[in-house]
């Protein structure tokens, strides 16, 4: 009896066998895991995030008063009306100004401070921050733990023209006081200062954590090559933590395109010539004081679309400046 030689298995057969071996059967544990940790979060997201947004879009196409079960469909009439409203257009422009200035100023200040307390120390010896950097971290983070409404109310008192702390300090040096929130030339700038003051500490700590994750050898090599602090910050620190910077820009842009709490506390009436009036204040006014929730929903949809456009712009700028490249070290 002659034996038939076995045909050797090819590489493709082995790969298929390995792949089949890796396939796991659907067990109760696997199914329950996917349902709990994937299906449930997606369901919650659809119910509490996507569904309200879809409802807002539908309500924006109606003349709903907010307190009745009647939804009269009027199409795009609300959108035409809000862009014919000079107050809303002014509020939209104010939000755009905030979205352009607040993130840039806050990120720049936070980067400077975080660099100083992490790698801004002596140029010789171990890479370290300035002396007493731990104290600076605590002090700079303190404003962030104060609620935004409290920050707004405190600074509204500081800016008070008669008896306010700021004008009182200026009076010591013989400088005449100023109605900081009552003049169109300074109201927006004073409000931006308050927002930046309340945010810079948190993002400083965020950037400190990111810089701490960069190996010290990279900074030591740059220092040996003769790079100064500014060169190191621009050529090493920022490129290596650019993902953190991008995230910070998006979060601050979202806050700036809202800014309701700060503006309502600092200048509830919107300031002279509506210089600090924002879309969220106009939305609140139209919905709860004028009883036109359909028009208010249209404003909310515009604000949401503007926020999405801002986030997309940040991603686009990051990609065009090389952010999509691998910055691992």
Q: How far apart are CA 235 and CA 225, in angstroms?
A: 13
> What is the mean predicted confidence (pLDDT) over 98-116?
93
C-beta pairs of 193-196 under 8 Å, 24+ apart in sequence: 194/151, 194/152, 194/155, 194/262, 194/266, 195/98, 195/102, 195/255, 195/256, 195/259, 195/262, 196/102, 196/105, 196/106, 196/109
Mean pLDDT of the residues in the chain:
86
Which domains are present in the chain?
Answer: 86-320 (1.10.3720.10)
pLDDT tier, 328 (very low <50, low <70, confident <90, very high otherwise) = very low
Q: Which two tokens stand for residue 26?
A: 């659907």
- For the segment 6-40, what is each residue's pLDDT rounded down to a tens digit? 555 555 555 555 455 455 667 877 778 878 888 88
Number of neighbouring beta carbons within 10 Å of residue 143: 17
Mean pLDDT across the stretch 272-301?
93
Q: Cα(181)–Cα(266) distance, rounded to whole angstroms?
A: 8
Q: Which long-range contacts (CB under 8 A, 24 or more apart) does 235-239 make?
A: 237/111, 237/115, 237/119, 237/211, 238/111, 239/322, 239/327
pLDDT given at position 329: 42
Mind listing the pLDDT tens digit for each residue in 161-208? 888 899 999 998 888 889 999 999 999 999 999 999 999 999 999 999
* Residue 139: partners with Cβ closer than 8 Å, 6 or more residues away: none
**Per this entry, what is the length of the chain?**
329
Asked whether the CA dihedral 48, 51, 57, 61 is positive or negative, the reply is negative
pLDDT at 13: 54
**Are the C-beta atoms of 149 and 263 separated by less than 8 Å?**
no
What pLDDT is stored for residue 298 in this prediction?
95
Separation in Å, CA 220 to CA 127, 237, 326: 7, 13, 22
The fraction of the chain above a pLDDT of 70, given in percent, is 88
Please report the beta strands in 72-173, taking only residues with DSSP state E, as ranges in sequence order: none
Q: What is the dihedral of CA 122, 126, 129, 135, to 10 degrees?
A: -120
Between 86-118 and 242-256, two packed helices, what is the crossing angle to 10 degrees?
150
Residue 130: pLDDT band (50, 70, 90) is confident
Which pair of tokens denotes residue 261? Answer: 């709490």
- pLDDT value for 9: 53
Kindly tell me if the per-residue pLDDT of 225 is higher than 80: yes
């Amino acid at each position: 009896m002659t034996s038939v030689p076995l045909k050797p298995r090819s590489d493709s057969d082995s790969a298929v066998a390995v792949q089949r071996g890796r396939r796991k059967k659907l067990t109760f544990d696997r199914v329950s895991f996917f349902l709990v940790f994937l299906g449930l979060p997606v369901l919650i997201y659809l119910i509490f995030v996507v569904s309200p947004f879809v409802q807002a879009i539908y309500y924006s196409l109606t003349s709903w008063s907010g307190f009745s079960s009647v939804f009269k469909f009027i199409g795009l009439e609300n959108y035409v009306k809000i862009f014919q409203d000079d107050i809303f257009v002014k509020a939209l422009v104010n939000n755009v100004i905030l979205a352009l200035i607040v993130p840039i100023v806050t990120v720049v200040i936070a980067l400077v401070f975080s660099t100083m307390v992490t790698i801004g120390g002596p140029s010789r010896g171990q890479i370290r921050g300035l002396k007493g950097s731990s104290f600076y971290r605590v002090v700079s983070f303190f404003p962030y733990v104060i609620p935004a409404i409290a920050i707004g109310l405190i600074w509204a008192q500081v800016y008070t023209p008669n008896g306010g702390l700021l004008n009182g300090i200026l009076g010591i040096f013989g400088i005449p006081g100023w109605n900081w929130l009552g003049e169109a030339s300074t109201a927006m700038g004073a409000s931006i200062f308050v927002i930046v003051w309340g945010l810079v500490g948190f993002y400083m700590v965020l950037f400190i954590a990111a810089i701490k994750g960069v190996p010290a050898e990279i900074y030591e090599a740059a220092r040996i090559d003769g790079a100064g602090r500014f060169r190191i910050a621009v050529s090493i620190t920022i490129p290596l933590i650019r993902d953190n910077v991008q995230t910070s820009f998006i979060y601050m842009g979202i806050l700036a395109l809202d800014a309701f709490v700060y503006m309502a506390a600092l200048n509830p009436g919107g300031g002279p010539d509506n210089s600090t009036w924002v879309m969220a204040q106009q939305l609140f006014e139209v919905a709860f004081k004028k009883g036109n929730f359909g028009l208010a929903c249209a404003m909310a949809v515009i604000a949401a679309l503007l926020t999405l456009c801002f986030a997309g712009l940040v991603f686009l700028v990051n990609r065009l400046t090389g952010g999509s490249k691998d910055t691992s070290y």
